[in-house]
Amino acid sequence: MPETILIIDDDPHLPTLMRVNLLDAGYTVVTAFDGAEGLRLFHEYQPDLVLLDVMMPDMDGWETCQRIRAISTVPIIFLTAKGAELDRVKGLNLGADDYIAKPFHQGELRARVNAVLRRAHMPPPTKEPILRCGDGDLIVDTATRTVIAQGQEVEMTPTEYRLLLYLVEQPGRVLTIEQIYDAVWSMDTDAMLTNVKWYIWRLRSKIERDPHHPRFILTEHGVGYRFAAG
């Protein structure tokens, strides 16, 4: 079965171009022109990826993303205005997996969609099926891609999960921001190194008892981060 992509964008022309491009790439494509319609189609079609515009009337991309994230970890790519750095940062904080700055070439769109879906479906590299940290306060089950923190299951986006797994598999090792970026995002995206900082913040908010005084993901000032498994 071809993977389904949901486009949510109120532009009168761009969604049509994206739809033709992605249909040609073999995807099933569903299009919505506002956030409310997008949520309705999301529930109906359960897409494998969402392309989400930021600036829309009534329900903007931020609120639409929050509502999707409340029920799903499906990959989300934000469509942002060129140079809108604050939009990109906010999108990452809300759980976006990538973003594309408008205007963009249709070939770039196809490559970015392929890359995000490929990362989402990549099998975990670990040989250990269950990783336990901090006397069981953090458990990563790689067979089911389940994360349990302080006894509660934690919802993770595909990018968040890959970042956490990369850190957990290298306990005690100081990892530079560049190393983390290359391992988790690679060259498939134009996302910047600042992505690492924002995703670390998101992980801490999900797995740490006190994100301001982390136990697991420690900052090595001027270098990067270190995962403390004990």
The count of C-alpha atoms lying within 13 angstroms of the C-alpha of 131, restricted to the half-sphere facing its C-beta, is 24
Whole-angstrom CA distances from 80 to 9, 77, 175, 197 are: 11, 9, 30, 20
pLDDT at 57: 87
pLDDT at 38: 96
Q: What spatial distance separates the first Cα and last Cα of the chain, rounded to whole Å?
A: 43
- What DSSP string runs through 167-229? HHTSTT-EEEHHHHHHHHTTTS----THHHHHHHHHHHHHH-SSTTS-SSEEEETTTEEEE--
Taken in order 206, 212, 216, 221, is the CA torsion positive or negative?
Answer: positive
The predicted model scores a pTM of: 0.67
pLDDT at 83: 59
Would you kindly state where each structural domain of the chain is located, as residue ranges? 4-121, 130-227
pLDDT at 229: 85
pLDDT at 159: 85
Residue spans of the chain under pLDDT 50 = none
Protein fold of 4-121? Rossmann fold (3.40.50)
CA angle at residue 75 from 177 to 218, to 5 degrees?
Answer: 30
**CATH 1.10.1140.10 corresponds to the domain 130-227:** no
pLDDT at 27: 97
